[in-house]
Amino acid sequence: MKRLLPILLLVFSVGVGAYDEDDLTKLKTTNQCLKCDLSQARLTGAYLRGAKLAGTNLTEADLTGANFYRVNLTNADLTRANLYKAHMEVVNLAGANLTGANLIDAYMEDTNLQDANLTGANLTKAYLEATDLTGANLTMANLTSAFLEGIDLENADLTDAVLTDARLNWAKNLDKAILCRTIMPNGSVNNSNC
C-alpha cells in the first residue's frame, strides 16, 4: 500500500484543475459551452467566431494568438489566462475575471470590458480601440506603451496601474476614473483620487 500511495497521488494530481474533455468537444462541435470547465485548455490560435462562452472557466487557458469575433465571454473566468497576441473584435467580456491575464500585444476593438476585473493584468503594447472599460478594475495593471483610442474609463479603478508611454487618444471619462498612485504616460504619478 505504501508503494501505491505515491502513484495514486500522482495520477490524481494530474487531473486536478485540468479542463473537462467533454466540454472541449462540446465547444468544438457546437461553438458554445456555457459555464463549462476549460481551465488550462490549450486553445492556441483558436478561431472562435460567434462562440458562446458566458460563465466559462478558462483559468490559465492558453489562448495565444486566438481570434475572437462576436464572442460572448460575459462573467467568464480568465484568471492568469494567456491571451498574448489574441485578436478580439466585438467581444463581450462584461464582468469577466482577467486577474493576472497576459494580454501583451492583444488587439481589442469594440470590446465590452464593463465591470471586468483586470487586476494585475499585463496589457503591455495592447491595442484597445472603442473599448468600454466602465467600472473595470485595472488595479496594478500594466498598460505600458498600450494604444488606448476612444476607450471609456468612467469609474474604472486605475490604482497602482502603469500607463508609461501609453497613448490615450480620445479617451473618454479619464477625469471620472480612480487614479491613485497611477503612473501616467509622461511618467508622473497621479494621486487625484486617493
The whole-number pLDDT of residue 11 equals 32
Q: How many residues does the chain have?
A: 194
For residue 28, pLDDT beyond 80: yes
Report yes or no on 66 lying in a domain: yes
Report yes or no on 22 lying in a domain: no
Residue 181: CATH number of its domain: 2.160.20.80
Q: Which domain holds residue 72?
A: 32-194
Task: Give 56-97 as a 3 state SS string.
Answer: CECCCCECCCCEEECCECCCCECCCCECCCCEEECCECCCCE
Q: Are 95 and 77 in contact (CB under 8 A)?
A: no
The whole-number pLDDT of residue 116 equals 98
d(CA 175, CA 92): 25
Nearest to 93 by CA among 70, 119, 112: 112
The whole-number pLDDT of residue 12 equals 30
Report yes or no on 8 lying in a domain: no
Backbone angles phi, psi at 18, to 5 degrees: -80, 160
CA 184-157-58 angle, to 5 degrees, is: 110
Report yes or no on 19 lying in a domain: no
Report yes or no on 50 lying in a domain: yes
Report yes or no on 70 lying in a domain: yes
Average pLDDT over residues 130-142: 97
Number of domains within the chain: 1
Average pLDDT over residues 155-166: 98
Q: Which of 10-19, 138-147, 151-160 has the lowest mean pLDDT?
A: 10-19
The mean pLDDT of the chain is 90
Local confidence band at 21 (pLDDT 50, 70, 90 cut-offs) = confident
CA 152 vs. chain centroid, Å, equals 17
d(CA 162, CA 65): 24
Report yes or no on 57 lying in a domain: yes
Q: Which of 29-43, 67-81, 126-140 has the lowest mean pLDDT?
A: 29-43
* Torsion of the alpha carbons at 158, 159, 161 and 163, rounded to the nearest 10: 60
Report yes or no on 4 lying in a domain: no
